[in-house]
Structure 1
Amino acid sequence: MTNKKTTQTFTMFPDFIKSDRRVTNLAKMIYSDIYTIATQGKEFFASNAWLAERYCATEVTISRAIKNLNDCGYIKMQMNVGSDKKVIKRVITLSDEYKELVKNDVIKNDNLSKMISASYQKRQEHLIKNDKGNISPNISTNKHAQSKISLESDFEKLWKLYPRKKDKSRAFKSYKKAIKDGVTNKEIQTGIVNLKREISLKGTDIKYVPYGSTWFNGKQWEDDYETGNVEQNNDYKTNEIARLENELQDDNLDPIERNFMSKKLAELKGSA
């Protein structure tokens, strides 16, 4: 059996990142590798594949952890790209704020601890000062992130429901403004449902249906749609039942839309 030699038996785990709640535990562990390599005056260019094996994680998870460190200002990344525009080598270095700490870490650890504490305290005070609500920056950041995720998730559900999906990013901007102004997801969902009922009722060609961006920007959930009594026509019922049964066979159908279509199908069969 061959023993593999290693020149590194431990890594340095700086105190200032331990208490930062914005950074995931995996990202902190990777940062300890980056920080330790930096104290040796070397470049950190480990690939996501190598890190994934080291930490028993997927490459996607590693990529998110490194982005987490970059977003929080702990590292800088440089991509060396070849003639085919593919990344040949990724070099990760400490951000300028923490490079000075590494220089002192090589000289004297006791002095480093004091510098780290002072630097971290200064960073936290700066964040608090710039927080309008004077709330802890970690809590404020987390709440903002959660709010953003919730908005994106709610919009995705509505976007899947909308019949003509064009210019999604512009539609999302209009959606965020509407929610900020007090409009509820239920109001928008009801508007989309009524629009689709009118489309089915009139047999409207999809090319005459507004783009998603136009509909959201124009607050067209406030419009009046024809959803009425033409449904009593037997030909309409027969065609609509066939259409709904066919669309419900789609395994990728959005749950909200599936629920609406199932209820609609039951209503039509019950009145047939």
Structure 2
Amino acid sequence: MANFISNAFMIPNDLIDKGYMKKMKGSALPCYVLIVRNTRGWNKTTDSMSISQFVEQTGYNKDTVLKGLNTLEELGVIAKKSSKNRASEYTLTDSIIAVDFLDSEKLDSEILDSENGSGSEKLDSKMGSGVENLDKLLSKNSTHNNNIKTNTKTKGNFSEEFEIFWNAYPTCKRKSDKSGTFKTFEKYTRVISLEKLIAILNAFKMDSQWIKNDGEYIPAPSAWLNKKHWENDFWLKAAGLVEQQPQSAETPEYANPQRRHIPTMPKRFKGMNA
């Protein structure tokens, strides 16, 4: 299509045609769209995403986001892999669009045949070929991929990690120089992980100085990065990145002094001799 937007990602028609969309109540649909954006939008099927990212970009609270993600798992359109102390990985199962490559008119009869043992092998074979054709189609039609190198100068070629940071950074009047911020971001990625950076950023987003007056005092992203807040113990603790040190059972004497009686010499007063 001549009017196809290259800087875009694809949503399967069956999301609507097969009735999936009406089952995605509340936050489920925007969560699904966000997962598709962060996966197929980068020509891949899996991406690590934090709950705070879903909250920030969908506008729903944490509990509602979790319900939406559970709905998507129950529908079988995504698979979730949880990791301790890391963001969960979300994978598109493509169960919505895999059926496009099957003959839907024969599908019901083959399922009935499979109950008698005659059609199971045929159905499995057809499902396999359908998924294989799907992979070929996604590989061939990769013009939606945002990493198109021929357009790096006009579209911008930013890393996936930077896009996550940029989207997580709150909108403010100083958030404008994306290219300049990307250079600053790349400079610090060798010393701070994205996960820790986002955790510290989320702590700032709850700070009263950032919240008041509709974010009037929020600095530019580059200026915020240059402050190196990950070197500040206060913000590390606020972000939950530093464990509180337990108080020692043996309290040093200087830390908990006890008054001790120290004998003193009697004071001498000047007087007249008798």
Q: Verify same fold: TM over 0.5.
A: no
Q: Tell me which protein shows more helix as a share of its residues.
A: 1
Q: Which has the larger radius of gyration?
A: 2
Higher relative contact order (CA 8 A, sep 6+): 2
TM-score normalised by the chain length of structure 1:
0.31
